């Protein structure tokens, strides 16, 4: 019985060593096969298998040498395929892995920069076409959707979008109150192409309201100027002069009124300049 107990540890030790050696041998044999499998995957155009085999080959290098060129080649081809499939985030992530490897070339780094620039331009085009959410989605892989400091491209887009929407809503409200000059001032603050298009009909309505107001003033003048009312023709000329000097229409109207000794007041539903 004592002899059997003495032999048991040796048996288990031998069995463990045998299993370890078998595992090492199997791993070594698998590594010997990987280059062939890798080349076959490249020839078939199977980029997923190419990546898988090249990653395994890099992990099994016994001496931990340089990243194999096969791995860089597979990443390069797969990243291009993903980009063509419009899988932007995955393409950029794989290209970033490539340029962080020792096998990366200057061309790989330039390719990543070109893709990032292209994605940013696509986002800007969508933004100006009125697709804010689509633009933000394109900025996500670049890390420009949102930043804590609020200084990302996406944050700037949201700010511009909100400002233009607010000015259009303000112009609609002022127009409904027939406060034409103030409505024009709000419309002139809209600087986004898509929001300008949305405000086009309202602008025509406001311009019609201003023309109607000027017509009423001229009719009053044909019967003699109303007491304490600035002559419309003189006021209009001065307003146009100030606009040509770079002032917005509302500021020009207020300044012209003051220059003629008047003040801006609400005359019923309309804004007027009276002395």
C-alpha atoms less than 13 angstroms from C-alpha of 215 in its C-beta half-sphere: 6
What's the pLDDT score for residue 218? 59
What's the pLDDT score for residue 170? 95
**CA dihedral (116, 121, 124, 125) positive or negative:** negative
Q: What is the pLDDT of residues 114-125, one digit of tens each?
A: 999 999 999 999
Residue 66 pLDDT > 50, yes or no?
no
Look at residue 91 and give its three-state secondary structure: helix
Confidence class for position 239, pLDDT limits 50, 70, 90: confident
What's the pLDDT score for residue 61? 58
Please state, rounded to an integer, the average pLDDT across all residues of the chain: 79
Query: What is the mean predicted confidence (pLDDT) over 208-235?
Result: 64
- Residue that the structure tokens 């770079």 belong to: 246
Higher pLDDT, 236 or 51: 236
Q: What is the pLDDT of residues 154-190, one digit of tens each?
A: 999 999 999 999 999 999 999 999 888 889 889 999 9
The pair of three-digit structure tokens given for residue 133, joined into one six-digit string: 């959410």
Higher pLDDT, 41 or 10: 41
d(CA 74, CA 87): 17
Residue 153 pLDDT > 70, yes or no?
yes
Query: Domains, the chain, ranges and CATH?
Result: 26-138 (1.25.40), 155-274 (no CATH)
Instruction: Give the DSSP per-residue string, 222-235.
Output: HT-PPTTB--HHHH
The phi, psi pair for 272, rounded to 5°, reads -135, 165
What's the pLDDT score for residue 189? 93
Higher pLDDT, 250 or 151: 151
Confidence class for position 240, pLDDT limits 50, 70, 90: confident
Give the pTM: 0.66
What's the pLDDT score for residue 267? 56
């Amino acid at each position: 019985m004592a002899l059997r107990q003495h032999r048991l540890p040796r048996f288990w030790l031998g069995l463990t060593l045998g299993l370890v050696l078998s595992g090492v041998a199997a791993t070594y044999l698998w590594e010997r096969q990987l280059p062939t499998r890798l080349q076959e995957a490249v020839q078939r155009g199977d980029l997923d298998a190419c990546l898988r085999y090249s990653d395994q080959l890099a992990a099994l290098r016994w001496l931990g040498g340089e990243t194999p060129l096969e791995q860089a080649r597979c990443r390069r081809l797969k990243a291009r395929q993903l980009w063509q499939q419009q899988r932007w985030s995955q393409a950029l992530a794989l290209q970033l892995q490539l340029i962080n490897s020792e096998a990366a070339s200057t061309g790989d780094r330039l390719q990543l920069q070109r893709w990032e620039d292209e994605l940013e331009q696509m986002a800007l085009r969508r933004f100006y076409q009125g697709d804010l959410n689509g633009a933000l989605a394109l900025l996500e892989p670049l890390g420009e959707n949102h930043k804590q400091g609020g200084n990302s491209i996406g944050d700037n887009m949201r700010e511009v979008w909100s400002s233009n929407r607010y000015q259009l809503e303000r112009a609609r409200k002022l127009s409904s109150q027939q406060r034409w000059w103030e409505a024009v001032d709000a419309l002139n603050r809209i600087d986004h192409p898509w929001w300008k298009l949305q405000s086009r009909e309202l602008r025509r309505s406001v311009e019609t309201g201003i023309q109607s107001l000027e017509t009423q003033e001229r009719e009053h003048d044909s019967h003699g100027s109303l007491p304490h009312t600035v002559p419309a023709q003189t006021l209009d000329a001065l307003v146009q002069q100030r606009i040509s000097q770079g002032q917005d229409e509302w500021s020009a109207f207020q300044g012209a009124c003051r220059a003629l000794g008047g003040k801006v007041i609400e005359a019923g539903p309309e804004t007027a300049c009276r002395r």
